Amino acid sequence: MEEQKGMPLLGDPFPEMEVKTTHGMIKLPGDLKGKWMVLFSHPGDFTPVCTTEFMAFERLRDQFEALDATLIGLSVDQVFSHLKWVEWIRDEQGVDIQFPVIADEMGMVSKQLGMIHPGKGTNTVRSVFIVDPKGTIRLILYYPQEIGRNMSEILRALKAMRVADEHGVAVPANWPDNEDIGDNVIIPPASSEAEIKERMKDVEAGKIECLDWWLCHRPLDS
């Protein structure tokens, strides 16, 4: 009986693998060490929703790359199908797909990452894995086959994670357009009475704002 391995979780290292892509063989996450990776799967080439998604990702590719992130697509189609589909998108829609697409022909990568929907045959679901420069899985999203993804939200999540890592803060709902604190970032809650008193001094000095001692925020550049 085939051994069933558990799906990777948030905080787990991304499993090492060598994959066939439209840009040749790539070792993951090794070949992208020091960069963010946005790996996303789609149910199949030459399908309507997937085609709109690929074009949407490509239109935002420069913004992902500006955040030091590499886009990588994936499905269980053969590499020849990927190449023909990418060619069709370029010739018929005028969008030149520049990111690599993994040809997971045997489904080994998809099974390892939990991308196969048991009720949908062997097709991959719409999943997204964001992996940080250290090779750690930081975000996992799954969508049903019928619903296309919001690429702007994936880009927003990547920006938010970079801000959180670089500044030691958290970000609120809908950041940077939160209804209550705008584009401010959230300071980690105080963990002692002494820290609460120091925080209140910062409030009086106008350095930070607080809804209460455990919910304080400040501008990102302060």
Per DSSP, the chain holds a count of helices (H) and strands (E) of: 6, 10
Find the catalytic residue in 26, 28, 37, 50: 50
Angstrom distances, CA of residue 92 to CA of 4, 84, 138: 42, 12, 36
Q: How far is CA 190 from CA 91, 167, 193, 221, in A?
A: 57, 16, 8, 21
* DSSP codes joined into one string, 89-120: HHHHH-----S-EEE-TT-HHHHHTT-B-GGG
- With b for 16 or more beta-carbon neighbours within 10 A and e for fewer, the 62-83 pattern comes to eebeeeebbbbbbbbbebebbe
Q: Is 50 part of the annotated catalytic residue set?
A: yes
Just list the catalytic residues.
50
